[in-house]
Chains A and B, each alone.
Chain A
Amino acid sequence: EPEVTQTPSHQVTQMGQEVILRCVPISNHLYFYWYRQILGQKVEFLVSFYNNEISEKSEIFDDQFSVERPDGSNFTLKIRSTKLEDSAMYFCASSDGTSGVYEQFFGPGTRLTVL
């Protein structure tokens, strides 16, 4: 069964460093998303991406964040200069957009630890 994959599963970085989190969405999907969950808190929406551009973004998704679909398979989230408060689990999701409720399929997550 097709699934969303994410790498790495765990990333440790120093404050101020750049990180790139990678996702491979399901191949025929058209909509892509990033969410994050700070430990003990809600899963929060960051950004959605469709047709090679951002379609929605939350207040969290400031200038330190960017997303890219560099080729036909990968979808990346870049944090330019990490802060301690960026430590969280980051989930990638994709949907095909054909069902009326846009069911989203999630990856296993990348745990980002900023020291």
Chain B
Amino acid sequence: GNSVTQMEGPVTLSEEAFLTINCTYTATGYPSLFWYVQYPGEGLQLLLKATKADDKGSNKGFEATYRKETTSFHLEKGSVQVSDSAVYFCALSATNTGNQFYFGTGTSLTVIP
């Protein structure tokens, strides 16, 4: 079946630190992979996506590379800011299951000045 396993949180980092949030997946078919972010009081917002193996999604300094060999889609940012404090969700959409998304549990990130 389809599932996403995401690094447990919460994660606390100092400003300008390097961020990695691990995400691995299990899928039948050819999934597309996503990172969503949820700021306090707001909905899930698409952060970046990748639709095929070796694609790199990037946005706002965040990057993730679709690694089929390791079934991973780890989120990275070289230098976090206080404004990056949020909950981050890894998700997949598999073509053989229509449009439904499969999410990880979410990782809460707090960046301290």
For chain B, the count of residues having a C-beta within 8 Å of the partner chain is 25
Interface, chain B (partner A; CB < 8 A): 4, 32, 34, 36, 41-46, 49, 51, 89, 91, 93, 97-106
Give complex CA distance A104, B43 in Å: 11
A-B contact pairs, 9 of them (CB 8 A): A3-B43, A42-B106, A43-B44, A43-B106, A55-B98, A91-B43, A103-B46, A105-B43, A108-B42
Contact status A109-B43, CB under 8 Å: yes
Contacts of A104 in B (CB 8 A): 46, 99, 101
Write the chain A residue with the least CB distance to B102: A45
Classify the secondary structure of B's interface with A.
Answer: strand
Write the chain A residue with the least CB distance to B106: A43
Contact status B104-A42, CB under 8 Å: yes
Q: How far is the CB of B69 from chain A (nearest CB, A)?
A: 21
Contact status A102-B99, CB under 8 Å: yes
Contacts of A95 in B (CB 8 A): 99
A72 at the interface (CB under 8 A from B): no
